[in-house]
Amino acid sequence: MAIRPRIITREISVEDNLAADMHPVLKRVYLARNVSDPVETENSLQQLIPFDKLKGIKEAVAILAEAIQEQKRILIVGDYDADGATSCALAVRVLRALGCQSVNYLVPNRFEYGYGLTPEIVAVAKQHDPDLIITVDNGIASVEGVNAANAAGINVLVTDHHLAGEVLPDAVAIVNPNQPGDSFASKNLAGVGVVFYLMAALRAHLREQGWFALKDIAEPNLAEYLDLVALGTVADVVKLDHNNRILVAQGVARMRAGKACAGIRALLKVSGRDEKKIVSSDLGFCVGPRLNAAGRLDNISIGIDCLLSDSDDDALEKAKILDEFNRERRNIEQTMREQANIHLETILSTQSSDDLPSSICLYDEAFHEGVIGIIAGRIKEQLHRPTIVFARSGADLIKGSARSIPGLHIRDALDRVATLHPELLSKFGGHAMAAGLTLKKADYEAFSAAFNSVVNDLLDDDALQQVLYSDGELPLTEINLSMAEALQNAGPWGQGFPEPQFAGRFDVVQRRIVGEHHLKLLLKAGDQTIDAIAFRKTDADWPAQVEQVDVIYKLDVNEFNGRRSAQFIVDYIEPINTDLTTQKG
């Protein structure tokens, strides 16, 4: 079962201050995303928000500068996803370039230690005998872990971007745009973005101190590391506000220029992507998943080592291992999706599409803990409901991965459950759209009911109606390769700055299933024909003869056998006799 979306054409509500000679299609797209200042269409590094706007950054820089100057031992403690891996690699690479002679990293195995700087991880960290621990992409919730490090005589510097709880860790410094009292204009930095800002501030401080001249060290150009920043930012699906778009655009430009690190080049190669032609979505759909697969199934360290490698051969060898992890992850995911569908059929067997529960919770003993987040995301997309999928974690506990829909801040919803039912949740944390939690297996049913009740209170019927936004109809004269390339280069597109989607009605010339799960079409309007593909969509529920379809699509560039052409990436498709309606909003 899938929810039939309401199609809304984006309206323009801002004054047009863009260049008069800008192509009208591009202008409409920008204005519909509330971009009316020409500066916001530029991706120059000079437009970045200054680093001194981050709370705690001066204290953090002073601590790091002293650690480097006194050659203290630094240990980076990262997270086990692509943002954590890129954050860790960035910190290690830049600290070494700044003259730190003793910097290492440690990433918790998610299946043994869970998330963040826990007391158990501090015990492992002590084996490295660090003077300073730096958390990247985690730490803001590690109150007990920081206390354990303090008790062991180890200072902790927290860098993170997750939302803070009521109590902050007792760290020597905290750099996090989302901590209380921070005035940094962009709250959407990924963990790797926070690390980049900290390293930029540290370099500026060392320059002022004459450190590079004193030690005869070449001052590093931090733009050389923006490939890592772009990868982590896109893979973590943070909002691409203007500040993040600059970071991503600059990083992608470096990759296209052949200046990516060996690890990213290798990951692009095993992904079948030409680095000279990549776009930001390639990082999210191709490179990021291969890093994430290691963290989901084994240990992200192989991914970090790949990103730290300066040898093309060594990086390629590690990238191939990551690619195998990703293949294994896909197989596990397919099995879990089949299992999840069985559970969903039971839950929804007595429900109509207009009478679904407000939330979905699923648990199966056979679910793999490392893949539940993907399954939760798939179900959320299919049913447009906040979804939590659980897997067993030890004898008595289960871990859940939550994905939300617009209008529901998932971490706040979990916090409300914890307030109303303090006995249910062992721990939780996360973002507005994604979160993790742990509870007793025996409390699963009670939690599911409590979560659904909270969602019922927080969301109305309109919020539970899936909405698909369109940029209106694209003139037939603009359905061509030139426009596809112009739209591609007008990004980077991503979370919070969505790639343009257009609506249209087309004749069906051909239709067939490819790769078992994808619908391939040849569409026609007027005298023009164009290839189209709808991923994870079949025509099994269609009439045998369909002459026309309404589609919501992205205009994309297709490359095959050295030939470039325009094609549709179809986000929604429906035979016209089902009366697809469009509303203004």
- Looking at residue 352, its pLDDT comes to 58
How crowded is the C-beta side of 405, counted as CA atoms within 13 Å? 25
- Distance, in Å, from the CA atom of 234 to the CA atom of 232, rounded to the nearest integer, reads 6
Question: b/e string for 461-488 if b means 16 or more Cβ within 10 A?
Answer: eebbebeebbbbebeeebbeeebbebbb
- Distance, in Å, from the CA atom of 94 to the CA atom of 79, rounded to the nearest integer, reads 18
CA dihedral 91, 97, 99, 100 (to 10 degrees): 30
- Looking at residue 111, its pLDDT comes to 67
CATH of domain 351-458: 3.10.310.30
- Looking at residue 80, its pLDDT comes to 87
Q: Is 108 in contact with 80 (CB distance < 8 Å)?
A: yes
371 Ramachandran zone, left/alpha/beta (phi>0; psi -120 to 50) = alpha
Return the closest-CA partner of residue 447 out of 505, 389, 524, 368: 389
User: What proportions of the chain, in percent to the nearest 5, are helix, strand and coil?
Assistant: 45, 20, 35
Kindly give the confidence (pLDDT) of every residue in the chain, 585 residues in length, as a single tens digit, with 9 standing for 90 and above. Answer: 556 789 999 999 999 999 999 999 999 999 999 999 999 999 999 999 999 999 999 999 999 999 999 999 999 999 989 999 999 999 999 999 999 999 999 987 766 776 789 999 999 999 999 999 999 999 999 999 999 999 999 999 999 999 888 899 999 999 999 999 999 999 999 999 999 999 999 999 999 999 999 999 999 999 999 999 999 999 998 999 999 999 999 999 999 999 999 999 999 999 999 999 999 999 999 999 999 999 989 889 999 999 999 999 999 999 999 999 999 999 999 999 999 999 898 877 766 556 789 999 999 999 999 999 999 999 999 899 999 999 999 889 999 999 999 999 999 999 999 999 999 998 888 778 888 999 999 999 999 999 999 999 999 988 999 899 999 999 999 999 999 999 999 999 999 999 999 999 999 999 999 987 899 999 999 899 999 999 988 888 888 889 999 999 999 999 888 899 999 999 999 998 644 444 444
- Distance, in Å, from the CA atom of 313 to the CA atom of 294, rounded to the nearest integer, reads 19
- Looking at residue 4, its pLDDT comes to 77
Residue keyed to tokens 């619908």: 519
- Looking at residue 581, its pLDDT comes to 43
Strand partners, 514: 518
Q: Is 463 in contact with 408 (CB distance < 8 Å)?
A: yes
Tell me: the pLDDT tens digits for 459-489?
998 899 989 999 999 999 999 999 999 999 9
Amino acid at residue number 9: T
Amino acid at residue number 538: T
DSSP character string of 39-104? GGG---GGGSPPGGGSTTHHHHHHHHHHHHHTT--EEEE--SSHHHHHHHHHHHHHHHHTT-S-EE
- Looking at residue 584, its pLDDT comes to 41
- Distance, in Å, from the CA atom of 302 to the CA atom of 310, rounded to the nearest integer, reads 14
Strand partners, 340: none
Q: In CATH terms, is domain 470-584 a member of 2.40.50.460? A: yes
- What does the DSSP 8-state code read for residue 497? B
- Looking at residue 353, its pLDDT comes to 56
Return the closest-CA partner of residue 233 out of 220, 246, 216, 217: 246
Beta pairing class for 548-560 and 563-575? antiparallel
| H helical segments located in 301-460 | 301-308, 312-348, 372-383, 410-420, 444-458
Return the closest-CA partner of residue 78 out of 195, 224, 208: 195
Domain ranges of the chain: 46-324, 351-458, 470-584
CATH of domain 46-324: 3.90.1640.30
- Looking at residue 351, its pLDDT comes to 65
- Looking at residue 350, its pLDDT comes to 67
Tell me: the pLDDT tens digits for 8-36?
999 999 999 999 999 999 999 999 999 99
- Distance, in Å, from the CA atom of 60 to the CA atom of 212, rounded to the nearest integer, reads 19
List the helix and strand counts (H, then E) for the chain.
19, 18
Q: Which residues contact 402 (CB under 8 A, 6 or more apart)?
A: 376, 386, 387, 388, 410, 414, 430, 434, 435, 436, 437
